[in-house]
Amino acid sequence: MKAVRIHAYGDRSVLRYEDAPLPECGDDDVLIRVIAAAVNPVDWKIREGYLKEMLPYKLPLTPGWDVAGIVERVGSKVSGVAVGDRVYSRPDISRQGSYAEYIAVRASEVAAMPRTLGYAAAASLPLAGITAWESLIDKGNLQAGQSVLIHAAAGGVGSLAVQLAKWRGAHVIATASAANVALVQSLGADEVIDYRTMPFAEHVRDVDLVFDTVGGDVQEQSWSVLKAGGTLVSIVAPPDAARAAAAGVQGKFVFIQPSATILRELATLADAGQLRPLIGAEFGLERIAEAHALSESGRTVGKIVLHIGKP
Ligand SMILES: NC(=O)c1ccc[n+]([C@@H]2O[C@H](COP(=O)([O-])OP(=O)(O)OC[C@H]3O[C@@H](n4cnc5c(N)ncnc54)[C@H](OP(=O)(O)O)[C@@H]3O)[C@@H](O)[C@H]2O)c1
């Protein structure tokens, strides 16, 4: 099969579009024929070797941990998933990924694709959608009537987080650069701050929840906009516990794991028209270096999708 693999950590030149062996389908796995995958910032962070202590891969590695496709084979212990099913997944990040014509995924990590979405839209949901759900709903405990500040609302995670927070009944304040303000409003944000011309910490007060998708200075300045007892959830850097205590708030960190349960929730919302995946760019697998360059630029709008197989 064709795949993109890396044989060493490094810059984009280590990405090789090449022939690779078909993945083995273990007893608990399903083998998926990949129709579409998506690119996430973690892909190039792993490619660079930034996470090699935490995730000690045996190279060569096929990156990519978002997939939508068709089940080609099921392992001997698998039930509930059948050959021919249209499925999507954010598979275990410690295993080989989805920049390939086939991927083996634990059956417990796949869910039926949203009925109303095509493969590209479905592939853009799992990693970013599970992250937004876990951050806002599981860790952030966001309730109707509460207010939330969502940073980088035009990005892959942020664009889904805005929609989830609105569905939850929250008042949504979002940050984006001027070019993306109208887009973020169209996703349902009640207020959008052009963070480049308007320092958000001077304009936001007493929110129940901050969703930090940027880290660094953005996280540091976010403490002051929370109400007493509020919560900051970061997906970029673990919040400093002493800093949180001093501000009288909670700081939490999320590093997501596969979740078929959340995928089923996301599919229900997508099919009800309440969650609209935003695709900002699409590439063929052989153009992976361009896709990584875009992700590394930090200017992605919505998700970057890779078209791999024919439906
Ligand atoms: N811990 C986890 O489990 C987990 C899971 C998923 C993602 N992440 C991490 O979360 C981060 C976001 O992921 P993503 O997929 O959403 O990234 P992304 O799609 O690449 O985000 C790009 C967006 O960031 C916005 N942006 C950049 N700097 C900003 C700033 N200072 N303030 C507000 N917006 C800013 C840009 O908007 P403008 O062009 O409008 O500025 C752009 O739309 C990444 O670091 C990723 O690795 C972690």
Question: Of the residues 134, 300, 304, which should be mutated to test ligand 1's pocket, given the most ligand atoms within 8 Å of the CB?
Answer: 300
Give me ligand 1 centre to Cα 174, in Å: 13
205 lies in some domain? yes
Contact (Cβ atoms closer than 8 angstroms) between residue 232 and residue 222: yes
Based on the fold, state whether residues 116 and 137 are members of the same structural domain: no
16 lies in some domain? yes
Contact (Cβ atoms closer than 8 angstroms) between residue 263 and residue 285: no
Q: How confident is the model at residue 57 (pLDDT cuts 50, 70, 90)?
A: very high
Q: Using CA atoms, how far apart are residues 277 and 161, in angstroms rounded to an integer?
A: 11
pLDDT tens per residue, range 193-207: 999 999 999 999 999
Based on the fold, state whether residues 13 and 87 are members of the same structural domain: yes
Range of the domain at 99: 2-125+277-307
Amino acid type, 25: C
> If you compute the radius of gyration of the chain from its CA atoms, what whole number of angstroms results?
19
269 lies in some domain? no
pTM confidence score? 0.98
Give me ligand 1 centre to Cα 298, in Å: 7
pLDDT tens per residue, range 118-168: 999 999 999 999 999 999 999 999 999 999 999 999 999 999 999 999 999
pLDDT at 269: 98
Based on the fold, state whether residues 224 and 186 are members of the same structural domain: yes
Segment 16-31 shows an average pLDDT of 98
Give me ligand 1 centre to Cα 53, in Å: 23
Give me ligand 1 centre to Cα 40, in Å: 9
Segment 274-282 shows an average pLDDT of 97
Amino acid type, 92: D
CB of 255 within 6 A of ligand 1: the answer is yes
Q: Using CA atoms, how far apart are residues 197 and 85, in angstroms rounded to an integer?
A: 48
pLDDT tens per residue, range 230-260: 999 999 999 999 999 999 999 999 999 999 9
149 lies in some domain? yes
Q: Using CA atoms, how far apart are residues 32 and 48, in angstroms rounded to an integer?
A: 27
pLDDT at 243: 93
Based on the fold, state whether residues 11 and 104 are members of the same structural domain: yes
Spell out the alpha helix ranges (H) of 168-256: 181-186, 216-222, 241-247
Give me ligand 1 centre to Cα 297, in Å: 10
Q: Calculate the average pLDDT of the chain.
A: 98
Question: Of the residues 90, 184, 214, which should be mutated to test ligand 1's pocket, given the most ligand atoms within 8 Å of the CB?
Answer: 214
264 lies in some domain? no
Spell out the alpha helix ranges (H) of the chain: 41-48, 119-123, 126-133, 156-167, 181-186, 216-222, 241-247, 260-271, 288-297
Sign of the dihedral defined by the CA atoms of residues 245, 246, 249, 254, in that order: negative
Q: Which ligand 1 atom lies nearest to the CA of residue 303?
A: 19
Contact (Cβ atoms closer than 8 angstroms) between residue 39 and residue 304: yes
CATH number, domain of 200, equals 3.40.50.720
pLDDT at 116: 98
Based on the fold, state whether residues 27 and 121 are members of the same structural domain: yes
Contact (Cβ atoms closer than 8 angstroms) between residue 35 and residue 113: no
Based on the fold, state whether residues 13 and 116 are members of the same structural domain: yes
CATH number, domain of 105, equals 3.90.180.10
Based on the fold, state whether residues 116 and 146 are members of the same structural domain: no
Based on the fold, state whether residues 245 and 161 are members of the same structural domain: yes
Based on the fold, state whether residues 93 and 181 are members of the same structural domain: no
Strand partners of residue 104? 31
CB of 135 within 6 A of ligand 1: the answer is no
**Nearest residue by C-alpha to atom 21 in ligand 1:** 155
pLDDT at 132: 98
Contact (Cβ atoms closer than 8 angstroms) between residue 170 and residue 142: yes
pLDDT tens per residue, range 65-82: 999 999 999 999 999 999
221 lies in some domain? yes
Give me ligand 1 centre to Cα 4, in Å: 24
Based on the fold, state whether residues 202 and 282 are members of the same structural domain: no
- Domain count of the fold of the chain: 2
Token pair belonging to 122: 């479905």
pLDDT tens per residue, range 207-227: 999 999 999 999 999 999 999
CB of 132 within 6 A of ligand 1: the answer is no
CB of 301 within 6 A of ligand 1: the answer is yes
Based on the fold, state whether residues 11 and 76 are members of the same structural domain: yes
Based on the fold, state whether residues 113 and 134 are members of the same structural domain: no
Residues whose CB falls within 8 Å of the CB of residue 257, separated by 6 or more in sequence, listed in order = none
pLDDT at 271: 98
pLDDT tens per residue, range 82-99: 999 999 999 999 999 999
Strand partners of residue 147? 171
Omega into 60 within 30° of 0, i.e. cis? yes
